[in-house]
Amino acid sequence: MIAFLTDWSLKSYYVGVAKAVMKRINPKVEIIDITHDVKPFDVRMAAHILLRASVDFPQGTVFAAVVDYGVGTSRKAICMRTRNEQFYVGPDNGIFTYVALNYGVKQVRELDNKSLHYGSSYTFHGRDIFASVAGHLSKGVPFEEVGSVLPNYIVLPVKVAQVEKDALIGEVVYCDGFGNIETNIPAAFVEKLGWEIDDIVLLNDRYELSFVRAYGDVAKSHGLVHVDSSGFLEIAVNQASAEEFFKMSQGQQITLRRKKS
């Protein structure tokens, strides 16, 4: 199985031909599109989405993750084998930061075995290197054959969410297509502070949100915070865009605290 993630969108032919290369190499492979709507060049957004998606894929899955603003430059092409036996193929630009931290890294190899490449374009490594190597791995080519061992790899700077007295401190990691604000605050932090359903929570000590289970638990256009399907806190506005309403963007620090009665 190959899981495919890019910032290419579907407006051009790039996704189609990359998948065609995967199929040429392994006609029987199943290819699942995670998304191709990562914000262009936004490696951090891709890294967070990749982590959230990866938990639902089985061992042995090959992830082709291509957000590659440095294509054709000295940046390396790599495959990372994580300790949960998944394989991550893509550019060495930090895109695998969060899966590496979450699962642990078994080994990283540079994709310098050109016999596993499809072509030699300077600007379409997504097709010629990443799709091709992913196809070969899915067909059973041993991980050790993709290239030489790489002793280190690029890691993005990481901000860790914290509990400080009565508040949860985190950051906006990205906003989804509905304008929901995805945070790096794990659901387990809520239990530490003893929040209960229907509590009122203050966002940055300014906006009142309802702590609920689902969007429809509040009135239309009302702000809410809930535990999303990936196990992190999400800030939303029922049937509207929290991103627009709260004027928040990736990397912005957020504070959530229960309103005192």
Residue 168: CB atoms within 10 A of its CB come to 24
261, pLDDT greater than 90? no
Q: Is the pLDDT of residue 26 over 80?
A: yes
pLDDT at 204: 96
Task: State residue 10 phi and psi, 5-degree precision.
Answer: -115, 20
**pLDDT tens figures, 76-110:** 999 999 999 999 999 999 999 999 999 999 999 99
29-49 mean pLDDT: 97
pLDDT of residue 260: 84
pLDDT recorded at residue 59: 97
CATH number for region 2-145? 3.40.50.10790
**What average pLDDT does the segment 135-145 reach?**
98
Output the pLDDT for position 89: 98
Contact 99, 108 (CB under 8 A): no
Task: Give the CA count within 13 Å in the CB-facing half-sphere of 16.
Answer: 4
Nearest Cα to Cα of residue 235 among 205, 207, 197 = 207
C-alpha to C-alpha distances, 61 to 1, 6, 132, 161, 257, nearest whole angstrom:
5, 17, 15, 29, 39
**214-223 CB burial, b ≥16 within 10 A, e <16:** ebeebeeebb
Q: Global pTM?
A: 0.94
H or E, element range at 21: helix 14-25
How far apart are alpha carbons 140 and 65 in whole angstroms? Answer: 19
Percent of the chain with pLDDT over 90: 98
CA 198 to CA 44: how far, in whole Å?
32
Please write the tens of the pLDDT for every residue from 157-205. Answer: 999 999 999 999 999 999 999 999 999 999 999 999 999 999 999 999 9
Question: Both tokens of residue 193?
Answer: 């502070």
pLDDT higher than 80, residue 138: yes
Is there a shared CATH topology between the 2-145 domain and the 162-258 domain? no
pLDDT tens-digit readout, 218-239: 999 999 999 999 999 999 999 9
Q: How far apart are CA 84 and CA 58, in angstroms?
A: 9
Q: What is the mean pLDDT of residues 238-249?
A: 96
Residue spans of the domains in the chain: they are 2-145, 162-258
Residue with tokens 């530490």: 192
Q: How, if at all, do strands 2-6 and 31-35 pair?
A: parallel
The separation between CA 198 and the C-alpha centre of its own chain, rounded to angstroms, equals: 30
What's the CATH code, domain 162-258? 2.40.30.90
- The mean pLDDT of the chain is 97
Per residue in 53-74, is it b (16+ CB within 10 Å) or e — as a string?
bbeebeeebbbbbbbbeebeee
Measure the CA–CA gap between 63 and 134, rounded to whole angstroms.
7
Token pair of 207 as six digits: 């906006």
Phi-psi region of 200 (alpha: psi -120 to 50; beta: other; left: phi over 0): beta
